[in-house]
Amino acid sequence: MKISELSPKIVWKHFYDLTQIPRPSGYEKEVTDFLVQFAKNNELEYQEDKAGNVLIRKKAVNGRETSRKVILQSHVDMVPQKNSDKEHDFTKDAIETIIEGDWVKANNTTLGADNGVGVAASLAVLESTDIQHGPLEVLFTVSEETGMDGAFGLEPDFLQGDILINLDSEEEGELFVGCAGGVDANISWQYRVEPASAGNTYQIAIKGLKGGHSGLDIHLGRGNANKILSQMLLDLKKECDIKISAFHGGNMRNAIPREALAVVMVRDCNVEKLKTAIDNKQEIYKSRFKDTEPDLTITLTEHDTIDSVMSAYDFNKTMEAINTCPDGPINMSDFMPGVVQTSTNLSVVKIGEGKCEVQLLLRSSDDIEKKYLGREIKNHFKMVEAKTEFLGDYPGWQPDTNSAILAIAKNTYSQLYHKEPVVKVIHAGLECGIIGGKYSNLDMISIGPTIQHPHSPDEKVHIGSVEKFWNFLKGLLEAV
């Protein structure tokens, strides 16, 4: 069976179309052109703004002209992550989808259900003829995953609605009314290089980690490839007197790093000692992460000859700075027990040719706490005399327990499914915080289907939850 034949077909056919359009962040032109053509084909009013966002308007059905205007909002870009042995160019290749039991997943890549199902549901609403809705605006934003550029680029007069329903949350049956804010920390410093002496060159690679969303999955105790490799290199320096030439780990600010590799040199007399040490390290780390990372592997392979290595003095300082950097949950929420309030993700490490670059994503639903965490990170990297820049700062979305759309949503869900939905805040960055800052009149809520392991090749969406999400969205639009 093709995913376009799943129920509800009106949603899945649009999601299938999206899987055929390459759309990693920064490469959204093809998908925004697709949306514009969709509007033209359906004789709908549309606008594009300077940021690249697309807004499509649909008139109210007869008798609902005076209803409050609702904005449906989702982002069109996806996170490009794949397993290392998978050949896939996210800028050119379609996503290969697989139906596996009750789930749809991709063939060793991210699926793009985040936020493709939200986009598909929005297109289904625009195309439908049987939903009794008021006037609608459907906003498709760009570059959410790399810095929320589309939301930041919204002009004050672009939207006219009163209620915003964000379709980017990832647990059916839960209503989200708040989210974390975030900021990127970009850190860089120089180190001294020395000519590579005689010896053997190897690549050490950490692979097989689950990775995942750096907000939604940060509390699950998964391994961070950058942390594991930096600790291992410190140990190997003591045990085998290795020297390092390069280090590359992670590739996305908002994904927990799944893989990291280092190029090292070791003297002939220590080669067997290094091989034994790697075997021992693999046993140690597999035991440590036996419950969360059963597929973790550590490999040692021969590498081409290198010209230079990091000085021994800088080696210790650099690896200590990376290994002791705060990573993972920092503080838990008082408003919502069990939810992370503040966290960091040691996302990307690049070392080579005399320069170190480290990127972290700091998240918090408390803007003051986020600011203090940034100060702590900056002070931490003073040990290597690093330059720290904070970019892309976006605010959290503070819950409004008196929200009218929240009350409508709770009542609608209860009538449909005869149980109360769960009201939550999410430790991830939704665009609601930015959009709400630009349009203070908006009453907002976020809903979505059940999506597991976003931002990783294990991403999958629950088929049955898509139908429940779709029926809830239709009921919510009719109830407004």
- Distance from chain centroid for Cα 33: 24
- 3-180+396-479 and 183-394, same CATH topology: no
First to last CA, the chain: 36
Q: Is the Cβ–Cβ distance between 320 and 219 less than 8 Å?
A: no
In order of 84, 86, 217, 222, 357, the CA distances from 81 in angstroms are 9, 10, 16, 17, 20
Q: Which amino acid is present at 366?
A: D
Residue 5: other Cβ atoms inside 10 A:
11
pTM score, whole prediction? 0.86
Residue with tokens 């034994």: 276
Rg (CA), the chain: 24
Q: So what's the pLDDT on residue 340?
A: 93
For residue 279, indicate whether it is catalytic: no
Indicate the average pLDDT of the chain: 95
pLDDT digits 0-9 by tens, 211-261:
999 999 999 999 999 999 999 999 999 999 999 999 999 988 999 999 999
Which candidate in 144, 162, 171, 443 is catalytic?
144
For residue 295, indicate whether it is catalytic: no
Beta carbons within 8 Å of 467's beta carbon, 6+ residues apart: 7, 8
How many angstroms separate the CA atoms of 114 and 169, rounded?
8
Residue with tokens 């690896």: 319
pLDDT digits 0-9 by tens, 413-444:
999 999 999 999 989 889 999 999 999 999 99
pLDDT digits 0-9 by tens, 102-127:
999 999 999 999 999 999 999 999 99
Residue with tokens 């908006």: 442
CATH number of 183-394: 3.30.70.360
- Place 88 in a pLDDT band, splitting at 50, 70 and 90: very high
Which candidate in 28, 77, 137, 431 is catalytic?
77
pLDDT digits 0-9 by tens, 312-371:
999 999 999 999 999 999 999 877 778 899 999 999 999 999 999 999 999 999 999 999
The full set of domain ranges for the chain reads: 3-180+396-479, 183-394
* Overall fold of domain 3-180+396-479: Aminopeptidase (3.40.630)
